Amino acid sequence: MEKTDLVRLWVADCFILKEEGVKMEITVESCLHTLVGRSLMQNAGNEKYTLNDLVHNFALYMREKEYVSTDQLNSELVSHHARYVSSVGGRCSSETLRGQENLRGLMCREVDCLFTFNFVYIRLLRVLDLQWDKFSKLSESIGDLMLLKYINLLGARIFELPESITRLRELQTLIPCYSKVKRLPNKISALGSLRHLDIHGTELLEFLPSEIGMLTYLQTLSKFVVGSCRTMDGSMKSSLSELRELNCLIENLRIEHLERVGSIEETDHAELKRKKSLHGLHLSCDSKYVIEFNKAVIEKVERVYERMEPPRAVECFSIDGYPGKKFSTWISSFTYSCLRKINIRDCKFLTNLPNLEFLPNLKDLIISCVDMIKVFDTTYDHVCGKVAFPKL
């Protein structure tokens, strides 16, 4: 299992006691390293971990009555005191689940029976994993799971999340990535405990709700879709200013549709420099409309990018669909000594690359679909006798 998923699940299951002044995720990672050091768990590489076979078998033996596998789920012998139910590639019966009042974790993959299921029968649930499931809607009764901390809808065919999800005040992790979700609940800002909102790969998601900036505990916001106008139902889309207070972000942030920014002041309010723990930043415009941009729009986008300067500790940076001829000079600043990877893609009118050769830790420089490049800035080519691209 990937380290990120493992950490989030342990936090949701309350396996680790909270330490005063320390993020739960950091405490869990420390415990994970301890288990690896004692050979109870194994590092499988690529940020993945496995349980020692002997420990795994012993754990199954000790929790035989609490863990129900796929084969047991629909049998008459299934325990009504089960705490964890797993069904992968099988049939997850609603009738069977109704008898699981003590259920803490439910993993049903590639099933379609939860569309009308009344979740009130499993109101003690803390973890709900519905990856790659076939239903297009989720029952509104999910809002009755007041202890639910983790929802994983990766790759599910669901188009819309029920508004009742906003009643889940204990929810810490929401993962609809690579699903068909077109919109998030309008009142998602009510999820005050939310730490991880993973929406990467949601190609149909065209905007985020307004007031998403109130989720100040967010550590993961994989994508921010700019939209400064109202939707057809009258609700407001999110503007860049919603990012102002999201200073706990620690992973990669992708900001899409920067051509929609309403004003330059909106860009200043994002205050990206304050997100000091941010690992990567991706800025993009919609390449479908780049060719149609007039001069005024292009100049506005250039000013927007000029003000989208990331924090100094960022390690990965990329731009996609930029319509200008020259890019902001801050990218070549010596202060970005942590930058390891830069990706410049689909910038059809870019003719001059900024000076990048003296970024001391740059290992990967990817330039693609940038056909009009004429000049590579070598302003500092002979400064202090330094070697260009020392780690490329």
Per-residue tens of pLDDT for the chain, all 392 residues: 899 999 999 999 888 888 888 888 899 999 999 999 999 899 998 889 998 888 888 888 887 778 876 566 555 555 567 888 887 766 666 666 777 788 899 888 766 666 667 888 889 999 999 998 888 888 899 999 999 999 999 999 999 999 999 999 999 999 999 999 999 999 999 999 999 999 999 999 988 998 999 999 999 999 999 985 555 555 557 889 999 999 999 999 999 999 889 888 889 999 999 999 999 999 999 877 666 777 888 888 999 999 999 999 999 999 999 998 888 878 776 678 899 999 999 998 888 887 787 788 999 999 999 888 866 655 555 555 567 777 88
- The last residue of one of the domains, among 24, 45, 62, is 62
Structural contact between residues 169 and 149, judged by C-beta atoms closer than 8 angstroms:
no
Is 352 exposed, middle or buried (CB count within 10 Å of its CB: 0-12, 13-18, 19+)? middle
Q: Which contacts qualify for 358-361: CB closer than 8 Å, 24 or more apart? A: 358/332, 358/334, 358/383, 358/386, 358/388, 359/332, 359/334, 360/390, 360/391, 361/337, 361/391
In a domain, 213, yes or no: yes
Angle in degrees, 0-180, between the axes of helices 3-12 and 24-37, rounded to the nearest 10: 120
Residue 144 lies in a domain: no
CB atoms within 10 A of CB 87: 24
- Last residue within a domain, chosen from 62, 78, 104: 62
pLDDT for 382 equals 53
Domain count across the chain: 2
**Model pLDDT, residue 79:** 58
Helix and strand totals (H; E) in the chain: 8, 18
109 located within any domain = no
Model pLDDT, residue 114: 62
Where is the domain boundary, 17, 40, 62? 62
Q: Write out the E strands in the chain.
A: 41-45, 48-51, 67-68, 84-88, 105-109, 127-129, 150-152, 173-175, 196-197, 220-221, 223-225, 252-256, 280-284, 316-320, 341-345, 352-353, 364-368, 375-376
Distance CA 316, CA 294 (A): 30
**Tokens linked to 314:** 């960022």
Q: Is residue 134 part of a domain?
A: no
Beta strand 316-320 with 196-197 is: unpaired
111 domain-assigned: no
186 in any annotated domain: no
Residue 149 lies in a domain: no
Range of the domain at 325: 206-392
- Looking at residue 334, what DSSP letter applies? T
Residue 67 inside a domain? The answer is no
Whole-angstrom distance, CA of residue 383 vs CA of residue 386: 6
Q: Are 115 and 137 in contact (CB under 8 A)?
A: yes
**Model's pTM, two decimal places?**
0.89
